[in-house]
Amino acid sequence: MAKAPTVYDVAERAGVSIASVSRVLRSPDSVKEQTRERVLEAVRHLGYVPSANARGLAARRTNVIGLFFPGHDDVAGSEGQLVAASGGVTTVRDDPTTEPETNNFYFDEVLRGAEIEAWRRGFALMVAAGRGASREAIVNDIAGRVDGLAVLARTVPDELLTHVARRIPVVVLAATRGTDAFDHVSVNNAPGMRAMTEHVLKAGARSLLYIAGPEDSPDDAERLQGFRAALDGNAEVAVELIRGDFSRGRGREIALGIDPLPDAIVCSNDQTALGVLDAMGRRSISVPDDVMVTGFDGIAAGRHSSPRLTTVHQPMVELGRAAIQALTARFDDPSMDARSLVLPVQVVLRESCP
């Protein structure tokens, strides 16, 4: 078997230093195009594959950043046999009442932002999801494979994050910083929901239903705080609160049972609001003529619903990017004080509550 080419072979063929080869492979946009093309041509010609182990030993780095999300999709029905690889074709009639609930557009957008920023900075991104008791084991495992870890708030116990942070930097997503020592990246939840609720009141609503999210969600707690702040001192408005779970299915279930209708239904996230719109359509209730509906997140599906969803747009892609930026800043200066970055939000008016 022929000897595997080394970084020295690539540098010699390209006529550059081994440092230039490393920069091209880690952060190609930081190198002049002519130099980059010479190095990449040498890599292709020689069949060179960088050794992650060698890089890690030399720099005490893996050049990998971890991103950990909770597993929200239902895996109860996934334990049976896999679909047979028969190559067949079947035809089914779609039942709108049984649509899948596995999509989480918020995570998709945050992930996209994290992947973009990691790539720009020369890092690979390792993504993991944990369910139930497996979360702690998975976090411990991924922490041993990465240079830094970004996690969604309340996904794992603070004690475990404190343990992990002794080895690598940790950034917490979707929660403002409290008394912990982690860097935090979040959005302006409370003022955003307050502004949305004030808009609903100005539109004439005098009875409101607020569909909240899970009780352990920091985002939901801050949004509920903003909702209540908008109503502070306004005794003329009737208010009811029902606890949801951020899913479209639960939003639909709640809305199908609402009687009598309030003037407006304010939802803690867009998925819930889209479920409410589903139910209103099924009940032949006009939105916004009979009831106004609002959401929070700004996912793309809200632009294509009927009617289009009024919402508070949060910069989900930028949230993912900011988490990676916070980690790389911590790599450069491990001793700096813990920071909390709060990104702005925007109230977006559409037909569901114009």
- Whether the Cβ atoms of residue 270 and residue 241 lie closer than 8 Å to each other: no
pLDDT of 350 above 90: yes
Q: One-letter amino acid identity for 66? A: G
**What is the DSSP pairing of strand 311-313 with strand 346-348?**
antiparallel
Q: What is the mean pLDDT of residues 218-247?
A: 94
Residue 309 and residue 302: Cα distance in Å, rounded? 5
pLDDT tens sequence across 309-319: 999 999 999 99
SS3 label, residue 342: strand
CB 231 within 8 Å of CB 198: no
Tens digit of each residue's pLDDT (9 = 90 or more) over 327-343: 999 999 998 999 999 99
Share of the chain above pLDDT 70, in %: 87
Which tops the pLDDT comparison, 78 or 350? 350
State how far the Cα of 297 lies from the Cα of 105, in Å rounded to an integer: 9
Residue 73 has pLDDT above 60, yes or no: no
- On the CB side of 89, how many CA atoms lie within 13 Å of its CA? 0
Per-residue pLDDT for 160 more than 70?
A: yes
Whole-angstrom distance, CA of residue 229 vs CA of residue 262: 20
Question: Which segments of the chain are extended strands (E)?
Answer: 64-70, 124-130, 148-152, 170-173, 183-187, 207-212, 238-243, 264-267, 292-294, 311-313, 340-343, 346-348
- Residue ranges per domain, the chain? 8-50, 64-71+103-186+317-343, 189-315
Q: Determine the average pLDDT of the residues in 72-93.
A: 63
274 vs 134, which has greater pLDDT? Answer: 274
CA angle 1, 26, 124 (to 5 degrees): 90
pLDDT digits (tens, 9 = 90+) for 62-71: 889 999 987 6
**Ordered DSSP codes for 178-220:** -SSSSEEEEE-HHHHHHHHHHHHHHTT--EEEEEE--TT-HHH
Instruction: Report the predicted TM-score, pTM, of the whole model to 2 decimal places.
Output: 0.78
Q: What pLDDT was estimated at residue 103?
A: 60
What is the chain's mean pLDDT, rounded? Answer: 87
End-to-end C-alpha distance for the chain, whole angstroms: 70
What is the DSSP-derived secondary structure letter of residue 83?
Answer: P
From 171, 100, 195, 124, select the one nearest 338 (Cα to Cα). Answer: 171
Which among 187, 188, 147, 184 has a CA at the least distance from the CA of 164?
Answer: 147
Residue pLDDT, tens place only, 25-58? 877 778 899 998 999 899 888 888 766 555 554 5
Is the predicted pLDDT of residue 99 greater than 60, yes or no? no
Q: Within 10 Å of residue 196's Cβ, how many Cβ atoms?
A: 27
Strand segments, DSSP code E, in 112-153 are 124-130, 148-152
pLDDT at residue 83 in the model: 64
Structure confidence at residue 58 (pLDDT): 53
Do the two domains 64-71+103-186+317-343 and 189-315 of this chain adopt the same fold?
yes
The CATH classification number of 64-71+103-186+317-343 equals 3.40.50.2300
Q: What CATH homologous superfamily does 8-50 map to?
A: lambda repressor-like DNA-binding domains (1.10.260.40)
Write the class of the CATH domain 189-315: alpha beta
